[in-house]
Chains A and B, each alone.
Chain A
């Protein structure tokens, strides 16, 4: 049993690779990072079979009718951007490295920072960890970040510590599990005027979800953020951050989505807000497909 646990750290999502990444960003001079990341991306592209298949499947829906070679090249590029993204997040955390960023929709970001209670709805896209930390530092606001639980407990602990260190304690991590305490905790945080950040592009087993249409396919997406917004009467801000070039990021803040009943039923209000979110996701993901790190299948198998 002990031997198996020891070997588990070397699995794709094992803590060994997270620690090795930390070693890399504190030991590899900046000019050798690109070469190292290129080589490691090839390594993981070859061995991370499940993630590769998931990306290939998801990209086939977003960009259909591509040749087999193009599909693989696109999947490789997604791995490459993912490697850069997690390396940059580790770099920010361990070496306080500066990043250049351009903001689109600054007025919405200001609104979000000034407002009392809001939900930030984001996707597994680009550097959401770094984005939350930057936002928390810049606007001196505390963020409750809801994440999908990591398969490996040691990796989860490592990521929690990383996030809290990067956000100088202003980013609090909670796990999106079937536990009933979390929604109440988030509702209280929203009513206290705090910001809750949730990833809304992937539904995991055990959490509240419903069918929605994304890229023309029927998928299951979490409806928790919309129910929370409805109950707490707070707006939902779509927010995305992705890497545009070396140590450069682009932040996109969208117009708030309001989930209100306005005479309609609760179900209709949630479904309408979810549909707006799906259109937003399509609008952002389609041109930035290589920054959408959907390492699990999102769309039904064909």
Chain B
């Protein structure tokens, strides 16, 4: 594709671009999506992992070490998740229930679904910032689903 064309993976920026009169199609050209959403998802994984394990880490120095190695833990968690999902995809392919050329669409659905379920639980958390993060995530997913629905109704990709 030649320079100047807009393409977004998510439906929300595609819909917003069209609302503001720009042409945008379903493609993976946006660095903001790749870096911005990636950072958000990774932060969510770090927060959820940290929250789940924080109670088991007692002495102060160990808590500091825990915070430092948390991104490494999130990375390993994601690597395990990709592997488990790929086995799930293989099973679905054998059963004839999944036929996309790559496992990316399935991985996307599973990762976002798992994170949304965890984020929904954050909404009831005592901490204000964790609650805010949960609400922010759920609102974003809600908006994305809404944009997807609008584009579907308008028969646009």
User: CB < 8 Å: which of B33, B38, B104, B108 contacts A26?
Assistant: B104
Q: Is B127 positioned at the interface, with any CB of A under 8 Å from its CB? A: no
Residues of B within 8 A of A30 (CB): 9, 28, 33-34, 104
A36 to B7, CA, bound (A): 22
| Chain B minimum-CB-distance residue to A246 | B31
Q: Which of A17-59 contact B (CB under 8 A)?
A: 23-36, 39
Q: Is B132 positioned at the interface, with any CB of A under 8 Å from its CB? A: no
Give the total of A residues in contact with B, Cβ under 8 Å.
28
**What string of 1s and 0s marks CB contacts (under 8 Å) between B1-23 and chain A?**
11101010100000000000000
CB distance from A247 to the nearest CB of B (A): 5
CB distance from B145 to the nearest CB of A (A): 16
Q: Tell me the A residues contacting B by CB distance below 8 Å.
A: 23-36, 39, 94-102, 245-248
| Additional pairs, 19, CB under 8 Å, beyond known A39-B75, A98-B7, A100-B29 | A26-B103, A27-B82, A28-B104, A30-B34, A31-B9, A31-B33, A31-B34, A31-B41, A32-B42, A34-B38, A36-B75, A36-B78, A94-B102, A101-B1, A101-B2, A101-B3, A102-B2, A246-B29, A246-B34
Residues of B within 8 A of A32 (CB): 38, 41-42, 78, 111
Q: Which of B80-111 contact A (CB under 8 A)?
A: 82, 85-86, 101-104, 107-108, 111
Q: Is B139 positioned at the interface, with any CB of A under 8 Å from its CB? A: no
Return 25 A-B CB contacts under 8 Å, by A number.
Answer: A23-B86, A24-B82, A26-B102, A27-B86, A28-B104, A29-B111, A30-B33, A30-B34, A30-B104, A31-B9, A32-B38, A32-B41, A32-B78, A33-B34, A34-B34, A34-B38, A35-B38, A35-B41, A94-B102, A97-B28, A98-B27, A101-B3, A247-B28, A247-B31, A248-B29
Residues of B within 8 A of A96 (CB): 101
Give the total of B residues in contact with A, Cβ under 8 Å.
32
Residues of B within 8 A of A102 (CB): 2-3
User: CB < 8 Å: which of A29, A246, A247 contacts B108?
Assistant: A29
Q: Is B39 positioned at the interface, with any CB of A under 8 Å from its CB? A: yes
Q: Are the CB atoms of A33 and B27 closer together than 8 Å? A: no
Q: Are the CB atoms of B41 and A245 closer together than 8 Å? A: no
Residues of A within 8 A of B104 (CB): 26-30, 95
Q: Are the CB atoms of A100 and B2 closer together than 8 Å? A: yes
CB distance from A246 to the nearest CB of B (A): 3
Of the candidates B7, B34, B75, B86, the one having the most CB atoms from chain A within 10 angstroms of its own CB is: B34
